[in-house]
Structure 1
Amino acid sequence: MTINLIFFTISIKKRKISLEEARHDEMVERLYEQNKEKQISIHRFM
């Protein structure tokens, strides 16, 4: 009889975001939303 056991340890740490990273993420999200709105408005006219 053979018993094979595999153990995994997963650690999750909360990552602190710098102010610069937060600003960048916010800008990216805003640009994404603007592009999405442009695509929707162009689609409506077709």
Structure 2
Amino acid sequence: MTLNILFFTITINKRQMSLEEIRHNEMVDKMVEENKTRQSMLRLF
């Protein structure tokens, strides 16, 4: 009788964001919000 067992160890680490990445993401979020408000204003007309 043969018993084959395979073990995996998976480690997940949260990736640290650099200051530049944080600023970029904030800028993108701001632009998306501005576009949403513009679109909502155009729908009113």
TM range (shorter): 0.7 to 0.9
Counterpart in 2 of 1:35?
A: 35
Q: 1:40 to 1:6 in 2, by over 3 A?
A: farther
Task: List gaps (5 residues or longer) in structure 2.
Answer: none
**What is the root-mean-square deviation in Å for CA atoms of aligned residues?**
1.8
CA distance in 2, matches of 1:29, 1:18: 17
Task: List gaps (5 residues or longer) in structure 1.
Answer: none
Please, what TM-score do these two structures have when normalized by structure 1?
Answer: 0.73
Please, what TM-score do these two structures have when normalized by structure 2?
Answer: 0.74
